[in-house]
Structure 1
Amino acid sequence: MAARPVGTVTRGTTNPNRLRRVDRWTARTMAPLLRGPVEAPVVVDLGYGASPVTVLELAARLRAVRPDVRVLGVEIDPVRVARGRAVADPPAVDFVLGGFEVPVPGGGRPVLVRAFNVLRQYDEEQVPDAWSRVVSRLALGGALVEGTCDEPGRLAAWVDVRRGEDGAPAPRSLTLAWRLAGLDRPSVVAERLPKVLIHRNVPGEPVHALMQDLDRAWARHAPLGAYGARQRFVALARELTDRGWPLAGGPARWRQGELTVAWDAVAPTVGQRRV
Structure 2
Amino acid sequence: MTTRAASRPVGTATRGTTNPNRLRRMDRWIAAAHGAELRRSPAPLAVDLGYGAAPWTAVELLRRLRSAAPRTRVVGIEIDPARVAAAQPYAQDGLDFRHGGFEVPVPGRPALIRAANVLRQYDEEEVAAVWRRLCARLAPADPATGSRGGLLVEGTCDEIGRRHVWVALGPEGPRTVTFATRLGSLERPSDLAERLPKALIHRNVTGEPVHAFLRDFDRAWASAAPYASYGARQRWIRTVRALAGDWPVADTAGRWRQGEVTVAWQALAPRGWTPASAPAPPSAA
Query: TM-score range with shorter-chain normalisation?
Result: over 0.9
Q: Is the 8 A contact 2:162 2:185 kept in 1?
A: no
Structure scoring higher RCO (CA < 8 A, sep ≥ 6) equals 2
Q: Which amino acid aligns with 1:186?
A: P
Give the counterpart letter for 1:117 in structure 2.
Answer: N
* Cα distance between partner residues in 2 of 1:42 and 1:125: 29
1:202 lines up with 2:205 in the alignment? yes
Q: Distance in 1 between matches of 2:36 and 2:72?
A: 13
Which amino acid counterpart does residue 125 of structure 2 have in structure 1?
E
Give the unaligned 5+ runs of structure 1. 165-169
Is residue 6 of structure 1 aligned with residue 10 of structure 2?
yes
2:17 corresponds to which letter in structure 1?
A: T
Residues 1:27 and 2:31 aligned together: yes
Write the distance in 2 (CA, Å) between the matches of 1:57 and 1:184.
29
DSSP-derived class of the 2:68 partner: coil
State the 1:134 CA deviation. 0.9
Distance 2:244 2:274 in 1: 22
Aligned with 1:158 (options 155, 158, 166)? 166
Tell me: CA distance 1:274–1:89, structure 2 relative to 1, closer, same or farther (3 Å). Answer: closer
Shift, 1:83, TM fit: 1.5
What is the deviation of 1:47?
0.3
Match of 2:130 in 1: 130
Tell me the residue number matched to 2:191.
188
- The Cα offsets for residues 95-122 of structure 1, whole Å up to 9 and x where unpaired, read as 0000000001xx2211110000000111
Deviations 1:222-250 (A, max 9, x none): 111111001100110111012x2011222
Cα deviation digits, residues 26-62 of structure 1 (max 9, x gap): 00000121011x3221100000001100000000011
Does the CA contact (< 8 Å) of 2:109 and 2:138 recur in 1? yes
Stretches of 4+ aligned residues off by more than 4 angstroms = none
Does structure 1 retain, via aligned residues, the 8 Å contact 2:139–2:171?
no
The superposition leaves residues 202-259 of structure 1 with CA deviations (integer Å, 9 ceiling, x where unpaired) of: 00000000110111111111111111001100110111012x2011222121111100
Percentage of identical aligned residues: 59
Structure 1 counterpart of 2:280: none
What is the alpha-carbon distance in structure 2 between the residues aligned to residue 97 and residue 39 of structure 1? 26
- Distance apart, 1:274 and its partner CA: 6.3
Q: Which residue of 1 aligns with 2:281?
A: none
2:218 paired with 1:215: yes
Seen in structure 2, the aligned counterparts of structure 1 residues 74 and 114 have a Cα distance that, compared at 3 Å, is same
Two-structure CA RMSD over aligned residues (Å) = 1.3
**How far apart in 1 are the matches of 2:73 and 2:234?**
38
Q: Which consecutive unaligned segments of at least 5 residues does structure 2 have?
A: 141-148, 276-285
> Which of 151, 154, 172 is the equivalent residue of 1:146?
154
Alpha-carbon separation, structure 2, partners of 1:136 and 1:246: 27
**Paired residues, number:** 263
CA displacement, residues 116-147 of structure 1 (integer Å, 9 cap, x when unaligned):
00001111011111111111111111111000
Which residue of structure 1 lines up, in the alignment, with residue 283 of structure 2?
none
Measure, in 2, the Cα distance between the counterparts of 1:274 and 1:75. 29
TM normalised by structure 2 equals 0.90
CA distance in 2, matches of 1:84, 1:28: 27
Distance 1:253 1:139 in 2: 26
Show the 5 A alignment for 1:227-266: 227-242=230-245, 244-266=246-268
Q: Which amino acid aligns with 1:153?
A: G
1:89 deviates by 1.1
Partner of 1:86: helix, strand, or coil? helix
Q: Distance in 2 between matches of 1:143 and 1:182?
A: 29
**1:65-97 deviation line (CA, Å, top 9, x unaligned):** 11121100000000110121121014x000000
SS in 1 for 2:165: strand
CA distance in 1, matches of 2:54, 2:82: 10
CA distance in 2 between counterparts of 1:117 and 1:111 reads 20
> In the alignment, which residue of structure 2 is the partner of 1:116?
116
